Amino acid sequence: MIRNTAHTRLAWFRRRLETFEPKPGWHAWAYEFFLFGFKQAWACLFGGLMLALLLGTHLFYPDDAMLARYDFLTLAALGIQLALLALRLETLDEARVILAFHVVGTVMELFKTAVGSWVYPEASLLRVGGVPLFSGFMYAAVGSYIARVWRIFDFRFVCYPPAWTTYALAAAIYVNFFAHHWLPDIRIALFALIALMFWRTRIYFTNWRIPRWMPLLIGWLLVALFIWFAENIATFARAWTYPDQADGWRPVSPAKLGAWYLLMYISFVLVAVVHHPSESKSGTGATDNP
């Protein structure tokens, strides 16, 4: 199955990969696995470049540089974003999603740093309060990945709940990120609502020729797990630090996976505003309206 991707530079190369004819049997399976890895890496382009910047500047950025490391990261992230648009490696719709994530993420950062959930230990000029501006790009990297992987794999759904219910739940999760500092933390109830709303939802994705599927709840968990791995690299690079890392780096608690899962849900719903979940014709024939 070949989809129209002429609005990005990936189109020609991707078309060549998708029309390649490997030998039957294990060669075909291995090729499909390679193609899946290539497309996932392409979807992670913005996030991968940001992570490389964090680690590279931690290891090699000069301590006596005139430009603070955090300010360099902000300018570099902005440069990457502009380059992706100029080279048509990213669409305008995807850039709008990234901007929305930047705003949503920066608001959360301002609050969380104010209450001491984490800190940015290095000095910088390009900041708002205690939050350097590059931090918003870390949230934008998540939005960029979801928007790109949705398009690249042509996501379709079976039994996707009504849109208004997903928006309401996302709003409740976002409010709880702030409110739990004063009110009871209702994240267990939020997890239960996510499971109740999406336990029948399948996501269909076309990697090569045959649509594959998995439960959407599991798909979110896998992405949240990879974000947690990336967070360990970022905190090792002192992009930010948690209170228990003040005396030296230690792995981020696996308990953070729950927070990333909830943030993953919010991220997915924000991207769904642009991409509009479509019903799969490869599934059970369900007629649930997304």
Per-residue pLDDT reduced to its tens digit, 159-173? 999 999 999 999 999
Give the domain range for residue 240: 10-275
Cβ within 8 Å of residue 236, ≥6 positions away: 55, 58, 249
- The 10s digit of each residue's pLDDT in 60-78 is 999 899 999 999 999 999 9
Judge whether 248 lies within some domain.
yes
Q: What are phi and psi of 45, to 5 degrees?
A: -55, -50
- The 10s digit of each residue's pLDDT in 14-61 is 777 877 778 888 888 898 899 999 999 988 989 999 999 999 999 999
Question: According to the model, what pLDDT value does residue 6 have?
Answer: 42
Distance between CA atoms of residues 157 and 229, nearest Å: 27
Q: What are phi and psi of 124, to 5 degrees?
A: -165, 160
The pLDDT confidence band at residue 119, using thresholds 50, 70 and 90, is very high
Question: According to the model, what pLDDT value does residue 61 have?
Answer: 96
Judge whether 78 lies within some domain.
yes
Closest residue by Cα to residue 149 from 77, 276, 45: 45
- The 10s digit of each residue's pLDDT in 223-248 is 999 999 999 999 999 999 999 998 89
Q: Which two tokens stand for residue 27?
A: 């060669």
Averaged pLDDT score across all residues of the chain: 88
Cβ within 8 Å of residue 7, ≥6 positions away: 88, 91
Cα angle 98, 104, 108 (rounded to 5 degrees) comes to: 135
**DSSP strand E in 184-285: where?**
202-206, 211-215
Type of residue numbered 251: P
SS3 183: coil
Indicate whether 107 pLDDT > 50. Answer: yes
Indicate whether 289 pLDDT > 70. Answer: no
- For residue 204, the number of C-alpha atoms closer than 13 Å in the C-beta half-sphere is 17
SS3 282: coil
Question: According to the model, what pLDDT value does residue 11 have?
Answer: 65
Q: Count structural domains, the chain.
A: 1
88: left (phi over 0), alpha (psi -120 to 50) or beta: left
277: left (phi over 0), alpha (psi -120 to 50) or beta: beta
Judge whether 282 lies within some domain.
no
Judge whether 290 lies within some domain.
no
Question: According to the model, what pLDDT value does residue 290 have?
Answer: 32
Judge whether 284 lies within some domain.
no
What is the mean predicted confidence (pLDDT) over 167-188?
95
Indicate whether 7 pLDDT > 80. Answer: no
Closest residue by Cα to residue 19 from 282, 209, 212: 209
Judge whether 288 lies within some domain.
no
* Exposed e or buried b per residue across 171-191, where buried means at least 16 C-beta atoms within 10 angstroms of its C-beta: eebbebbeeeeeeeebbeebe
The pLDDT confidence band at residue 1, using thresholds 50, 70 and 90, is very low
Q: Which two tokens stand for residue 66?
A: 């005139």
Judge whether 157 lies within some domain.
yes
The pLDDT confidence band at residue 275, using thresholds 50, 70 and 90, is confident
Indicate whether 285 pLDDT > 60. Answer: no
73: left (phi over 0), alpha (psi -120 to 50) or beta: alpha
Judge whether 3 lies within some domain.
no
Q: Which two tokens stand for residue 175?
A: 């409010």
Type of residue numbered 103: V
Cβ neighbours, 10 Å, residue 148? 27
Name beta bridge partners: 119. Answer: 241
SS3 203: strand
Indicate whether 10 pLDDT > 80. Answer: no
